[in-house]
């Protein structure tokens, strides 16, 4: 392979040449990211690798996922010796709060810095009857939807299960502090609608869900967790078989032509294939699939669009969330006018499709849907990877 510097004048290449490398230090044994393990995995690590009894694993697990501990030192009911051993062999991967922005409507957008200097965001949305967190699953996103800001970043990497649940623990801590609450888990609902495509990081999502739903962890009910997907058809089937949480589909169009223009995923799995997967999706009693539909002015918001949508969804237990588009400079789409959105909703309801206009939260802080694209620091100059579909 040609060295990178082959077309650089020799003199400059010499100047750039690195000094001889010093003797490499012995690589430290890799630390186990304990915050990414299910209770079962942690128990195995304790009994098989550390030679510890399994109830110690349960103790650590509760520290990590019930109390949201971020260091071994705070785990005061573990012996000093065990804490030292853990420090040698294990780690809790941190998310450091980097910025926070508060909206007039109570929404708070948090930006976290990962250990490798990446930025991700989570959005806290309190209302009278629930406290919801919108969670990210990837740094950036490979799906490249043309109206979405995150899509312009490209995929940088998957978040680990520990980084996914750490968003929840960190915001629980913030809410306890800000709202003077004693309860360990003030958050009531989770929506996986932040940065990234959750089903493109399925294994880590699944592990994170299993931690978040566990009794020894935050114990979220499956009824209070929704995962939203762009429509990765083969993964929808696995998602239905391997998890029990709610499904939302970003439909965003009423014809393949429209959808393929804005959502490259549609060129691989079109609307028919997507809706077929929805029809086969194992729905629990009384449950419906949520279809998200971003209203784009003069693009997908006509009466004909509404009628086509009714036809598409007629044999699926569905609920449509109409999302007023949050304009992103440079992406070229416009927000549908309020009256048009209301008319669109009424048409769907007349066609017996339950439809709601989603209240737009955090618009003033760019914390609303599709606006989570804070590049931060040096990542700003990186070019996006091309989309790779499974």
Q: Is residue 388 among the annotated active site residues?
A: no
Query: In whole angstroms, how close is the CB of 227 to ligand SAH at the nearest point?
Result: 8
Query: Should residue 294 be labelled a site residue for ligand SAH when binding is judged by CB under 6 A?
Result: yes
Identified binder of ligand SAH from the candidate list 147, 202, 220, 281, rule CB under 6 A: 147
Query: Should residue 212 be labelled a site residue for ligand SAH when binding is judged by CB under 6 A?
Result: no
Query: Should residue 189 be labelled a site residue for ligand SAH when binding is judged by CB under 6 A?
Result: no
Residues 6 or more apart in contact with residue 84 via CB below 8 angstroms? none
Query: In whole angstroms, how close is the CB of 359 to ligand SAH at the nearest point?
Result: 12
- 134, 145, 148, 369: which is the annotated catalytic residue? 369
Q: Is residue 369 among the annotated active site residues?
A: yes
**CA-to-CA distance for 288 and 86, rounded, in angstroms?**
44
Nearer Cβ to ligand SAH (72/112): 112
Nearer Cβ to ligand SAH (59/336): 336
Q: Would you mind telling me the total number of residues written for the chain in this entry?
A: 390
Radius of gyration in angstroms for the set of CA atoms belonging to the chain, rounded to a whole number: 23
Contact at 8 Å (CB) between 169 and 215? no
Residues 6 or more apart in contact with residue 27 via CB below 8 angstroms? none
| Lookup: tokens for 154 | 């490209």
**CA-to-CA distance for 159 and 389, rounded, in angstroms?**
17
| Lookup: tokens for 137 | 């699953």
Residues in contact with ligand SAH, shown as a per-residue x/- string from 325 to 354 under the rule CB under 6 A: xx-x--------------------------
Nearer Cβ to ligand SAH (60/155): 155
**CA-to-CA distance for 376 and 378, rounded, in angstroms?**
7
Nearer Cβ to ligand SAH (243/328): 328
Residues 6 or more apart in contact with residue 15 via CB below 8 angstroms? none
Query: Should residue 228 be labelled a site residue for ligand SAH when binding is judged by CB under 6 A?
Result: yes
Q: Binding residues for ligand SAH, per CB under 6 A?
A: 143, 147-148, 193, 197, 228-230, 250, 252, 292, 294, 323, 325-326, 328, 369-371
């Amino acid at each position: 392979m040609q060295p990178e510097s082959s077309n650089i004048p020799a003199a400059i290449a010499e100047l750039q040449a690195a000094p001889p490398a010093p003797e490499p230090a012995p690589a430290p044994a890799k630390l186990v990211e304990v915050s990414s393990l299910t209770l079962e995995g942690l128990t195995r690590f304790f009994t098989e690798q550390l030679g510890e009894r399994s109830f110690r694993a349960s103790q650590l697990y509760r520290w990590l996922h019930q109390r949201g501990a971020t260091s071994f030192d705070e785990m005061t009911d573990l012996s000093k010796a065990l804490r030292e051993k853990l420090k040698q062999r294990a780690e809790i991967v941190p998310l450091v709060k980097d910025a926070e922005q508060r909206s007039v409507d109570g929404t708070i957008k948090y930006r976290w810095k990962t250990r490798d200097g990446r930025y991700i965001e989570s959005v806290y949305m309190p209302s009278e009857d629930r406290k919801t967190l919108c969670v990210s699953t990837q740094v950036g996103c490979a799906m490249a939807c043309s109206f979405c800001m995150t899509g312009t970043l490209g995929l940088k990497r998957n978040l680990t299960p520990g980084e996914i649940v750490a968003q929840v623990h960190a915001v629980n801590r913030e809410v306890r502090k800000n709202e003077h609450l004693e309860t360990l888990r003030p958050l009531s609902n989770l929506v996986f609608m932040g940065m990234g495509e959750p089903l493109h990081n399925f294994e880590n999502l699944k592990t994170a869900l299993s931690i978040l739903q566990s009794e020894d962890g935050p114990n979220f009910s499956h009824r209070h967790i929704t995962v939203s997907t762009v429509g990765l058809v083969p993964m929808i089937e696995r998602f239905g078989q391997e998890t029990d949480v709610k499904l939302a589909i970003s439909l965003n169009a009423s014809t393949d032509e429209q959808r393929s223009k804005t959502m490259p995923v549609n060129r691989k799995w079109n609307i028919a294939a997507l809706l077929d997967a929805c029809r086969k999706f194992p729905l629990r009693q009384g449950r419906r699939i949520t279809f998200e539909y971003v209203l784009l002015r003069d693009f997908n918001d006509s009466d004909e669009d509404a009628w086509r949508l009714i036809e598409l969804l007629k044999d699926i237990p569905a609920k449509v969330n109409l999302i007023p588009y949050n304009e992103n400079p440079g992406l070229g789409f416009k927000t549908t006018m309020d009256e048009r959105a209301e008319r669109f909703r009424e048409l769907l309801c007349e066609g017996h499709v339950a439809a709601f206009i989603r209240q737009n939260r955090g618009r003033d802080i760019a914390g609303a849907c599709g606006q989570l694209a804070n590049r931060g620091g040096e990542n700003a100059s990186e070019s996006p990877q091309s989309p790779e579909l499974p």
